[in-house]
Amino acid sequence: AQSVTQPDIHITVSEGASLELRCNYSYGATPYLFWYVQSPGQGLQLLLKYFSGDTLVQGIKGFEAEFKRSQSSFNLRKPSVHWSDAAEYFCAVGAVAAGNKLTFGGGTRVLVKP
Amino acid sequence: DAGVIQSPRHEVTEMGQEVTLRCKPISGHNSLFWYRQTMMRGLELLIYFNNNVPIDDSGMPEDRFSAKMPNASFSTLKIQPSEPRDSAVYFCASSSGGPNQPQHFGDGTRLSIL
């Protein structure tokens, strides 16, 4: 079965600084990878997804993520963080063997300092 | 475009009462998912449907929980009788099916059982 690990539970970053959130997955074949963001009181919103092709994918809100097969990672990055990026971020993996289910990581909560 | 619609947004009730949460998926989506989110356990998949048929209910905590999808545009999650430990945010999500399809989440129902 596939699994997803987000090693950082909390990250604090200054506004304007860069941000990188780590995601490691475990799955034997090529996974389908997703990043979601959850603002307080809201549901999860899709930031970006990776299926195949270019390993650097662009998403909404200025985020990007890079798939590295050799490291089983799909880290999320943003060059310059805005105060509105304070939220919880979830990495998820889909797999053919899992049907239509996604496996979510535990989430990383991002705090943005002024 | 209308997203996933959940109702009610908030529910406060006393233990022992029946609780019914409702979800309208995105039109054309054939997969529907119910999740529960708590601080302690994070995001948990309770059950999911494909084409209105329950596929995997292994995440349903116990017999007090039941879910139905009578047609493609409506699903309910029922708790009877409710207990304080059921207090959580319940999310509904839908997708167009397949492990490579992102799930689209509603804004959730915040349930408090007193």
Q: How far A17 CA lies from chain B's nearest CA (Å)?
A: 28
Does the CB of A35 have a partner CB in chain B at under 8 Å? no
3-state DSSP assignment of residue A71:
helix
Query: How far is it, in rounded angstroms, from Cα B4 to Cα B91?
Result: 10
pLDDT of res. B62:
86
- Please compute the mean of the pLDDT values over residues A48-65 and round it to a whole number: 94
pLDDT of res. A2:
79
Tell me which of A109 and A52 has the higher pLDDT.
Answer: A109
Point out which residues pair with B60 in neighbouring strands: none
Confidence of residue A84 (pLDDT cuts 50, 70, 90): very high
Does the CB of A10 have a partner CB in chain B at under 8 Å? no
Cα B66 from chain centroid? 10
pLDDT of res. B15:
96
Closest partner CB to B98 (pick from A41, A46, A100): A100
3-state DSSP assignment of residue A42:
coil
Q: How far B34 CA lies from chain A's nearest CA (Å)?
A: 11
Contact yes or no for B99 and A99 at CB 8 A: yes
Contact yes or no for A90 and B105 at CB 8 A: no
Q: Are B19 and B76 in contact (CB under 8 A)?
A: no
pLDDT of res. A51:
87
> In the A/B pair of chains, how many CB contacts fall below 8 A?
57
Closest-CA residue of A relative to B91 is: A43
Closest partner CB to A43 (pick from B42, B45, B107): B107
- Please compute the mean of the pLDDT values over residues A83-111 and round it to a whole number: 91
Does the CB of A3 have a partner CB in chain B at under 8 Å? no
pLDDT reading at A97 higher than 70? yes
- Please compute the mean of the pLDDT values over residues A44-53 and round it to a whole number: 93
**DSSP letter for each residue of B22-81:** EEEPPTT--EEEEEEEETTTEEEEEEEEETTEEEE-TT--STTEEEEEEETTEEEEEESS
pLDDT of res. B1:
64
Mean per-residue pLDDT over chain A, rounded = 93
**Local confidence pLDDT in tens for the 114 residues of chain B:** 689 999 999 999 999 999 999 999 999 999 999 999 999 988 999 999 999 999 999 999 889 999 999 999 999 999 999 999 999 999 999 999 777 889 999 999 999 999
Query: How far is it, in rounded angstroms, from Cα A49 to Cα B29?
Result: 18
Instruction: Say which residues have a Cβ less than 8 Å from residue B92's Cβ, sequence separation at least 6.
Output: B4, B6, B21, B23, B25, B32, B33, B34, B35, B75, B77, B105, B106
- Burial classification of residue A76, based on how many CB atoms lie within 10 Å of its CB (0-12 exposed, 13-18 middle, 19 or more buried): buried
Tell me the residue type at A56: L
pLDDT of res. B2:
82
Which of A102, A104, A109 is the best substitution to test chain B (most B C-beta atoms within 10 A)? Answer: A102
